[in-house]
Amino acid sequence: MVKRGFEPVREAFADNFARRHELGGACCAYYRGEKVLDLWGGVRNKRTREPWEENTMVVIWSATKGLAAMTLAIAHSRGWLDYEERVCAYWPEFAQEGKERITVRQLLAHQAGLFAFDEPVDRGVVADLDRLAIVLARQKPAWEPGTRQAYHALTLGFYEGELLRRVDPGHRSLGRFFQEEIASPLGEDVYIRLPEEIPNSRLATLAPPGPIEMLVRFPLRLTLDSMNRRSNIYRALIANPGSAVSLDEHHVYARNLEVPSGGGVATARAIAHAYSVFAGGGRELGLRQETLDLLAAPAIPPTRGFHDECLHGEVQFSLGFMKPSLTWPFGSARSFGSPGSGGALGFADPSAGIGYAYVTSQMGASLIGDPREVALRTALYAAIPASPGASTVAA
């Protein structure tokens, strides 16, 4: 489906298959509350060549972080949560090991120094939220909170989940809250806790990037760090693989398990629709304008600036979302969203009234804008008359 005037996005989507090695994927965008394009194509499984269909879902890795942040935004709008309050005001046990002054804002901006676990966290711990909460509470920050930024690649979602459990009067898990308060009201296929009844035939499998693309596009320093057991990114992602359980020996993806920083499974349509609500005033989800204004506001850096100690570059985070920056521009200055490893991206642009998402079954290796996604986003903004402050990344 493509509304008149947005045909160049469809052409860019087709061009991705012809020129940019797309395997299968989908792109959807809403403009001022109206769905203006909903595209899908290619194959969902490289081995079987099964086609990508209208309702095919795929794991979106860290693009899940934006969905998780939406739950806390709803908690803020309902008066349950203050972003400037200390985390331990809601979760007293969190105050252990020098964490008593960490604010919710600092935690959600990857400024708490809690990017890794010092003890094993396997699937059993992830599945038992009470046990997981004990591990989270006794983790010691790597440095003085609020001084540095380090990408909380997996831990952020677990901290968000326990914080939400503490403030929600129903004490629901983040995945359940998301389903009941966001996905179901919008009538969309998007899950942070994938239920058992979803058949494998609905799910795309991910093909890894090729060695040439990894060599050309993936930063050498991060490649070396991923093999260094003492590096920050190794500790954040690789030292505790049980905390990133998404695959399952009996299913394409694990069922009834929550990894709120990286285990979301969705259609592009569902992600774009949710961001469209956030871009358009939030009425459907009961969001207050005060909350939306905070999400659209500039990110606040730690005392040593936005240089990320895990990613070795400047990245800006605010209230659980990524914000546009010179390194990673998207949308307008008021935009907020989250990319995912391999190329996925979802975001809201309140200035332009856009909710947007791209997902794929062929992982790419770029960290600052996948060429396939950038081509689509560039065509989208070009189709909108006088889109304010729009920015993209060179493909």
Which amino acid is located at 79 in the chain?
A: G
Q: What pLDDT digit, counting tens, does each position of 95-121 carry?
A: 999 999 999 999 999 999 999 999 999
The per-residue pLDDT of the chain, averaged, comes to 94
- CA 393 from chain centre, in angstroms, equals 19
Comparing 390 with 376, the larger pLDDT belongs to: 376
CB 51 within 8 A of CB 231: no
- Would you call 207 exposed, middle or buried from its count of C-beta atoms within 10 A (0-12, 13-18, 19+)? middle
List strand residue ranges (DSSP E) for the chain, in order: 24-31, 34-42, 58-59, 190-191, 265-266, 307-308, 313-314, 316-318, 321-323, 336-339, 345-349, 354-360
User: What backbone torsions phi and psi does residue 175 show, to the nearest 5 degrees?
Assistant: -65, -40
Look at residue 390 and tell me whether its pLDDT is greater than 60.
no
Q: What pLDDT sits at residue 394?
A: 33
Distance from C-alpha of 2 to C-alpha of 191, rounded to nearest angstrom? 26
Residue 199, number of CB atoms within 10 A of its CB:
9
Calculate mean pLDDT across residues 224-250.
82
- CA 335 from chain centre, in angstroms, equals 14
Distance from C-alpha of 154 to C-alpha of 365, rounded to nearest angstrom? 19
- How is residue 168 written in tokens? 């929600």
Q: What pLDDT sits at residue 387?
A: 47
In order of start, what are the domains of the chain with their CATH numbers? 1-395 (3.40.710.10)
Calculate mean pLDDT across residues 210-235.
85
CA-based nearest residue to 351, from 279, 295, 269: 279
Q: Are strands 336-339 and 345-349 parallel, antiparallel or unpaired?
A: antiparallel
Q: Are strands 265-266 and 307-308 parallel, antiparallel or unpaired?
A: unpaired
Position 247 confidence tier, pLDDT thresholds 50, 70, 90:
low
Calculate mean pLDDT across residues 8-33.
98
CA atoms 313, 318, 322, 323: torsion sign = negative
Q: Which of 173-187, 232-246, 308-322 has the lowest mean pLDDT?
A: 232-246
CA-based nearest residue to 352, from 334, 377, 339: 334
Calculate mean pLDDT across residues 38-58.
97
- How is residue 302 written in tokens? 């730690």
CB 157 within 8 A of CB 261: yes
DSSP for residue 9:
H
Contacts for 212 with CB less than 8 Å, ≥ 6 apart: none
Distance from C-alpha of 260 to C-alpha of 62, rounded to nearest angstrom? 9
Q: What pLDDT sits at residue 392?
A: 47
CA angle in degrees (0–180, nearest 5) for 155-149-232: 60
- How is residue 373 written in tokens? 């996604």
CA-based nearest residue to 288, from 148, 79, 92: 79
Calculate mean pLDDT across residues 215-240.
86
Calculate mean pLDDT across residues 64-75.
98
Q: Output b/e per residue, 92-120; b: 16+ Cβ within 10 A.
A: eebbeeebeebbbbbbbbbbbbbbbbeee
Q: What pLDDT sits at residue 250?
A: 61
Q: Output b/e per residue, 316-336; b: 16+ Cβ within 10 A.
A: bbbbbbbbbbebbbbbbbbbb
Distance from C-alpha of 204 to C-alpha of 223, rounded to nearest angstrom? 26
Look at residue 389 and tell me whether its pLDDT is greater than 50.
no
Calculate mean pLDDT across residues 358-379.
95
Q: What pLDDT sits at residue 249?
A: 59
- How is residue 182 written in tokens? 């966001």
- How is residue 18 written in tokens? 């012809």
CB 325 within 8 A of CB 314: yes
Per cent of the chain over pLDDT 90 is 86
Which amino acid is located at 94 in the chain?
A: F
99: left (phi over 0), alpha (psi -120 to 50) or beta: alpha
Q: What pLDDT digit, counting tens, does each position of 269-294 carry?
A: 999 999 999 999 999 999 999 999 99
Look at residue 170 and tell me whether its pLDDT is greater than 50.
yes
CA atoms 387, 264, 340, 150: torsion sign = positive
Q: What pLDDT sits at residue 204?
A: 96
Look at residue 391 and tell me whether its pLDDT is greater than 80.
no
